């Protein structure tokens, strides 16, 4: 008696194969979606839709620091309102970054509008060699108002 071995093998039914194929496509699509989502970030806009990163190039300000008196002078000489500033305080071999709003008590609530001036006392380490003043802008996003710190290239260096 000869048994045909081809008829004894069983495969997946077409229904199960289709369900597995659909599940693999859905999982693969989800993985690609989450991967791509990591490359995009929520855009922060200013002035009716312009990306705030592009506005950083239009920011014009002046800054001075007197280490003798500890006074910091900031002036917005451009047309872009500046919400705050980051101070990158560099010492030999290290640096620290602080927000102006965190180290002064009388910073204007809305920041410096066009022509705005701030002058006040700040305590900066006596070992500091250089201060880089970096503007922080306030923009809007789908989640509401958001702050954006411009890149360091848009900052101004004060050599002590």
Output the pLDDT for position 76.
95
Output the pLDDT for position 115.
92
Secondary structure letter of residue 155 according to DSSP: S
| Nearest partner of 41 among 49, 53, 27, judged by Cα | 53
Output the pLDDT for position 67.
81
Give this prediction's pTM: 0.71
pLDDT tops 80 at residue 11: no
Residue scoring higher pLDDT (14 or 43): 14
16 pLDDT tier (thresholds 50, 70, 90):
confident
pLDDT tops 90 at residue 54: no
Q: For residue 61, what are the β-bridge partners?
A: 76
Output the pLDDT for position 34.
85
Output the pLDDT for position 66.
87
Output the pLDDT for position 127.
77
CB-side neighbour CA atoms (13 Å) of 80: 23
Residues 79-99 have a mean pLDDT of 91
């Amino acid at each position: 008696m000869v048994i045909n071995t081809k008829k004894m093998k069983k495969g997946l039914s077409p229904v199960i194969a289709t369900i597995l194929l659909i599940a693999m496509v859905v999982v693969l699509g989800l993985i690609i979606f989450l991967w791509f989502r990591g490359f995009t970030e929520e855009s922060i806009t200013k002035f009716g839709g312009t990306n705030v990163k592009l506005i950083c190039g239009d920011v014009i300000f002046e800054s001075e620091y007197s280490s003798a008196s500890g006074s910091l002078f900031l002036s917005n000489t451009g047309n872009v309102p500046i919400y705050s500033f980051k101070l990158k305080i560099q010492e030999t071999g290290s640096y620290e970054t602080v927000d102006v709003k965190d180290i002064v008590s009388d910073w204007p609530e809305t920041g410096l509008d066009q022509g705005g001036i701030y002058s006040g006392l700040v305590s900066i380490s006596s070992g500091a060699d250089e201060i880089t003043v970096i503007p922080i802008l306030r923009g809007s996003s789908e989640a509401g108002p958001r702050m954006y710190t411009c890149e360091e290239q848009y900052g101004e260096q004060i050599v002590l």
